[in-house]
Chains A and B, each alone.
Chain A
Amino acid sequence: MKRRDFLKVGSASVASTVFGSVGLLSWAPRAYAQTITKTFYITEGYQTLITGEDVYFRGFSDANGMVNVPGESLIVQEGDTIEITVVNTLSTTHSFVIDGLVDSGPIASNQTKTITFEASKAGTYLYYDKMNAPYNRLVGLHGGFAVMPSGLSNQLYPGSPTFVQQYFWIFNDIDPVWHNAISNNQTPKTAYEPRYFTINGLGARPPGAPGSHDPNIDAMVDTRTALHGQIGDRTLVRILNPGLASQSVHTHGNHMEWLTENGNIRPDIWKKDCIYLDGDMGSLDVIYPFEVPPDSYPPATTGTYPMHLHTEMSQTAGGGFYMFGALTDIYFE
């Protein structure tokens, strides 16, 4: 039990402080490459979940004194030079890794390290701590990273179907027993049994629940998560799974156009209402087309629909609380 003198943060401050469809570090198509800089503070704290249980997290945070889970999502352009400064405020060793792009190597306790790399390939990535895998990643040291194709603002890869806006859905599953062991710098010994399931760090709060409709608390309205669009507002969603459970990503209202799986472009674009998301670092890119829901009669142009995981265990919190898990809403406006 070292370093127990840190802050206890409430759920509102554990959520990212950055709102907007994504935390834009830099995203405007440019004809030239640029140097992008960002500082992350590796921090730790407790979050009180819907059941009242306090659960330990670590995050790649925007400042010391806060815990961001996930860390801010970053969008850069192919060819950019990325300079990430990591300030490790903890007593444990950590790292900053993007598979295929960069590996900081160990960053010791109270050390600051700046790593520089090129965003050499367009796509959707997870940045995460690879030390003590998968534990540091599971307790929150992860975030989304996107590389836009050079000079393009509306395609995932040159020639891909187009979109007009983009979001990240980062899923995680939480076993508080494991989080507690990790907080004590122990290796979890128990079978992994997640009790909470999150999207972009939050569970949902159905109407009438404490925190319902609060974008800092409720995944159904979190502006990083809930999709908003009018008919024709084709929306790219970059889906990442730092958690260990595989999931079935299911949208109502429209089928998803399925572009990639685990970083690989699919040979054909299938239209799916459920897509298999691998556990332990799986990823998908999909476009939610915001078309008139095809089976509506009379045709509907406005309405609200859920996205939920059909692996329904993930829709719960603490073994009950259906609808307090990893789901959000999609608003046709």
Chain B
Amino acid sequence: MGMRNRNGGGGGGGGGGTSGACYVYPDSPATPGIVTPDVTFDRGIYMNGSMTMDDGNSVRIWGFTDGSGGGGMGGNSFPSPAIRVTAGQIVHSRLNVQGMMWVHTMHHHGIEPADHADGVGHITWDVDGVYTYQWRPMHPGSYFYHCHTNTVLHAEMGMYGALIVDPPEGPGTLLSGGPTYDVEAFWVVDEIDSSWHNLRWDAGTCGADAGLNTLNPDYFIITGVDGSGTSAMNREPISATVQVGQKLLGRYICAGYHPQKINFGGLTGKVYISDGRPLPNPIEVTELRACSAERYDIIFEPTEPGEYIISTDIIHWITGEVLGTAKTNVIVTA
């Protein structure tokens, strides 16, 4: 790509806070092959968010805003506002990075567009201004979008949101000609190392030791809520209430870096899709292990009323030690 050698190695150009960054490639060119989209999502950037944990501590969070205002207009939701589209639609994700202080990208993880719509800084550019990613999702399932600039830090800081591709039938159907569901739950499980959360956006990029090789999480969250206690219980759409006879779709996204093991608390589910691709033969599961950024779409048809605890262990990538657990619940009524 033409941008390869633009700013690598030196200061990041741009202005303000980018002057100390290395190996970022600021640009916001016209979108190749741009056409009128079926749907557009505007996203800005916030870097002044926070999340309050069950212990009362507050942790800095970065993310995407809904709308092009940037700077936190419209609220700093965490996770970032979901993108929900229908297979076959031409989609524009319009990212507005107007801070003049930093660069970011949107990578639609699991979506496989042209490289100029893939949001990978070193291959194309890190957005400085407004850039429109054009893509056409073809495979229903659960995905997520996240920043791909200094990714190790930016994704950990919370720069991600759910990305759901529905089949043409719309929500309620998982796959055309495949299973349907009545209730949907979002299990986006992540770990936070609060010692990383006071770093600058460009931390480590010029080679300083920012400790980014070691993630020692102290908080374990599910869909933006502290999952260590009861905060994520009875809190839809993290939790879910279903009647016997109804079908629950669990959209499980491993949004952390350490591996995870999710246990369904006595429920048996059937995995129909993983990473946005239907399994040739769906598998029955009572628990699953997952690695970073894997997704599983699981349908449950509970037969026994009761409360079921959905708990996800976050497991150290080297030692295998369970570092913490994030929990929510499913209530099954008669």
Contacts and interface: CB of A to CB of B under 8 A. Distances in A.
Contacts of A315: 151-152
Interface residues of B, number: 70
Given A207-B8, A272-B274, A272-B275, A319 B113 contact: no
A208 B114 contact: no
A192 B320 CA distance: 13
Contacts of B108: 295
Determine the main DSSP class of B at the interface with A: loop
B90 interface: yes
A320 interface: yes
B135 A273 contact: no
A105 interface: no
Interface in B92-106: none
B280 interface: yes
A180 to B, nearest CB: 17
Contact of A51 (B22, B150, B207): B207
A132 B257 CA distance: 30
B140 to A, nearest CB: 12
A246 B212 contact: no
B118 A305 contact: yes
Contacts of A253: 112, 115, 118
A300 B114 contact: yes
Contacts of A269: 280
B206 A320 contact: yes
Please classify the interface of chain A as helix (H, G, I), strand (E, B), loop, or mixed, using the class held by over half of its residues. Answer: loop
Interface stretch (B39-47, B181-189, B225-233, B286-294): B286-294
A294 B275 contact: no
Contact of A322 (B153, B279, B281, B294): B153
Contacts of B135: 295-297
Interface residues of A, number: 61
Contact of B257 (A51, A208, A271, A312): A312
Interface in A291-325: 293-298, 300, 303-306, 310-313, 315-323
A252 B109 CA distance: 8
B112 A252 contact: yes
Interface of B: 1, 4-5, 7-10, 22-23, 25, 33, 35, 90, 108-118, 120, 122-123, 134-139, 150-153, 155-156, 203-215, 257-259, 274-277, 279-281, 289-294, 317-318
28 contacts: A208-B22, A212-B8, A247-B317, A252-B112, A252-B118, A270-B279, A272-B294, A273-B109, A274-B292, A274-B293, A276-B259, A295-B112, A295-B135, A296-B112, A296-B113, A297-B33, A297-B90, A300-B113, A304-B123, A305-B120, A306-B122, A310-B257, A311-B257, A312-B156, A320-B203, A320-B204, A320-B205, A329-B123
User: What 4 A-B pairs have minimum CB-CB distances, sorted nearest first?
Assistant: A208-B8, A320-B204, A208-B9, A319-B209
Given A208-B23, A252-B112, 6 more contacts: A208-B9, A209-B9, A253-B112, A255-B275, A273-B109, A320-B203
Interface of A: 50-51, 192-195, 197, 206-210, 212, 220, 244-248, 250, 252-255, 267-277, 279, 293-298, 300, 303-306, 310-313, 315-323, 329
